[in-house]
A and B are shown apart, each in its own frame.
Chain A
Amino acid sequence: MTRRKGTASPERLTTVVVLRLYVAGGAPNSMQAIANLEAICAEYLKDGHRLEVVDILDNPRRAMAEGVLVTPSLTKLSPLPAAQVVGNLSDKKRVLQALGLKPHGK
């Protein structure tokens, strides 16, 4: 694998990325969001992340407390700045951007 000089390699990230994904039970977009996010985490963050999945059908007030309007909805809590992506996370570029990561090979 070739890496561009001067780009922070995601494999060498020392900070842990803390993520929270809000889903609606086993609804299709929610399931897809979980799968997409897990794939991205496995590829880019390896062990350097913590992911919590919150089901709003069980816990709507918690989502409200954090200003979530729709599901699926992904929030990056740490490192700052916080970021949010809504939808089934099939747009990998947008997810990486929100996570502050650069796509491989670019």
Chain B
Amino acid sequence: MGALERRAIAAGEIDAVIDYGSANVIVFPAARRALRDTAKRASAAERKATLETPERNAILAALPRAEYRRLLPALEQVMLESGDVLCEAGAPIRHVYFPVDCVVCLLTKIDSQQTVATGLVGYEGMVGLPLALGVRASSVRAVVQVAGTALRIPATRFSNEFQRGLQLQNQLYRYAQVKLDLARQTAACIASHRIEQRLACWLLMFDDRAMSQEILLTQEQLANDLNVRRESVTATSVVLCSRGLIGHSRGRISILDRKGLETVSCDCYRPIEIAEAARRFR
């Protein structure tokens, strides 16, 4: 190495030297740190790019580009684990969540011990709907049942954007109506239908929202959702399994025969409107 190179190294102007023996590039520590930071920034930019394409949540996807861009700086991508509580019944809503590939169950309190599921939210919807209707506290407990990604936005920011965004308002009023209908139907279902029908209906709704072939749900979770004894869920699962409608092993349920399950389910099952979803996804 000549005097020129040595002087430049001493002045801290060199990033790397080439080792001719091994044909390797030896990057100096400061440069290595900077390259690592650049790589991190690039992956952050990539993450931002996924936010740029909101088509994975139907409500965000249906927004006009300008409205979505206004929301974008406040949207944060989060990984949610099964069992995460997004909001408690009666507590103020801190964030609004737009699920991408997770499924969130809305549980209504019956007494201090028991709850029953009265809603399910996946990529087609949003958790934190009361905010859109001017109510700051949640009436349900929202628990993640299928782990996955969601985009979230702080409640105050959401409220501000909601005031400004006409299309967002339209979307959410329509969504609120769908949710209300579903909650009414669920109430009727709980009061009237056998567990076999309810379980089939619940599994179909899960299947519509979960992105994977298999649904990760324990019988305990199902019993809690439907507010029935665990033994009843086990017995019913065995029947559905024996008829070849579902597969069940180690907390994973897979739907083997959708059509068959639909015939078992009560009429309370409401598919996510395919035409509606398609229109939203444009």
Contact = CB atoms under 8 A, between A and B. Distances in A.
Interface of A: 23-30, 56-57, 60-61, 63-64, 68-72, 84, 86-88, 90
A14 to B, nearest CB: 30
Interface of B: 1-2, 4-5, 8-9, 11-18, 20, 23-25, 27, 30-32, 34-35, 38
A69 B13 contact: no
Nearest to A59: B25
Given A69-B1, A70-B9, A86-B8, A28 B15 contact: yes
Contact of B5 (A30, A56, A63, A69): A69
Contacts of B31: 24, 27-30
B18 to A, nearest CB: 6
Nearest to B17: A70
B13 A86 contact: yes
A24 B26 CA distance: 10
A84 to B, nearest CB: 7
Contact of B14 (A25, A26, A87): A87
Q: Which secondary structure characterizes the binding site on chain B? A: mixed
Contacts of B1: 69-70
B8 A63 contact: no
B30 A71 contact: no
Contacts of B5: 69-70, 86
A29 B25 contact: no
Given A26-B34, A68-B18, A70-B5, A87 B11 contact: yes
Contacts of A71: 14-18
Nearest to B8: A87
Given A56-B16, A71-B15, A86-B5, 16 more contacts: A24-B25, A27-B31, A28-B30, A28-B31, A60-B18, A61-B23, A64-B18, A69-B18, A70-B17, A71-B17, A72-B14, A86-B4, A86-B13, A87-B13, A87-B14, A90-B13
Contacts of B15: 23-24, 27-30, 71-72
B18 A27 contact: no
B25 to A, nearest CB: 5
Contact of A64 (B16, B23, B34): B23
Nearest to A86: B8
